[in-house]
Amino acid sequence: MSRPRAAILDVDGTLIDSNDAHAAAWVDAGREAGHEIAFDRVRRLIGKGGDKVLPELTGIQEDSPEGKRITERRGEIFRTRYLPELRPFPHARALLLRMKADGLALVVASSASSEDLGLLLDQAGVHDLIEEKTSSSDADESKPDPDIVQAALAGARVRPGEAVMLGDTPYDVESAGRAGVRCVALRCGGWDDAGLEGAVAIYDDPADLLRRYDESPFAGKRG
């Protein structure tokens, strides 16, 4: 395959070690609202949008009055209780710098809210490297539906075959595939290779991908 023109980037679990924190925030918000949510259960859902996670956990629709209260409280808990302690994965910024040096446009496609997304990019130390950002507010349906990836393609002004996505969950792989985009997956988000089936390549984390960048789908063929 030829070298892509754009890298579509997930953030949570891909660039920053935040998946456990998101799960914990759901547990805390649910408990405050009188819903016992098992950490292990919600942890497997991180990567989907809240519009899908909340009904699956509680049967409550996100756009209902109670759903809005729980969702808003989850965001508050995440931002105040967990976000300040989060750290990027080693060499995440160096990986993005390598991609930019290769001429790739860097576009984020995240199921996070627009408010959370900006803060996550700041905490990961990569906000200044991102050219376009698409969040849950830019799509009718969140991952694993393809809407967010399609919005990222439109923002980057590239065709599906001209981009490669980087993610860490089955929902990233499925969302990219349904949009016609190849997906490279990282294990650092907590999924094994069986869970990431469908990815065109799998690496341990950003540092591992950076070490093997020249053989990766992001490098493509030279010339």
Provide the pLDDT for residue 192: 97
Q: Can you tell me the distance from the alpha carbon of 13 to that of 37, in angstroms, rounded to the nearest whole number?
A: 21
Per-residue pLDDT at 223 exceeds 90: no
Least confident of 21-25, 32-36, 49-53: 49-53
Kindly report, residue by residue over 145-164, the tens digit of the pLDDT: 999 999 999 999 999 999 99
Provide the pLDDT for residue 222: 45
- Confidence grade of residue 133 (pLDDT, cut at 50, 70, 90): confident
Strands (E), the chain: 6-9, 105-109, 132-134, 163-167, 182-186, 201-203
Query: Do residues 46 and 169 lie in contact, with contact meaning Cβ atoms separated by under 8 Å?
Result: yes
In the structure encoding, which two tokens stand for residue 149, read together?
């990836």
Q: Catalogue all structural domains in the chain, each as residue range(s) with its CATH number.
A: 6-18+87-215 (3.40.50.1000), 19-84 (1.10.150)
- Confidence grade of residue 189 (pLDDT, cut at 50, 70, 90): very high
- In this prediction the pTM is 0.95
Cα angle: 69, vertex 73, 76; to 5 degrees: 145
Per-residue pLDDT at 184 exceeds 60: yes
Cα distance between the two ends of the chain: 11
Q: Can you tell me the distance from the alpha carbon of 178 to that of 215, in angstroms, rounded to the nearest whole number?
A: 25
Query: Do residues 21 and 78 lie in contact, with contact meaning Cβ atoms separated by under 8 Å?
Result: yes
- Confidence grade of residue 48 (pLDDT, cut at 50, 70, 90): very high
Rounded to 10 degrees, the C-alpha dihedral 170/220/4/123 comes to 60
Provide the pLDDT for residue 220: 78
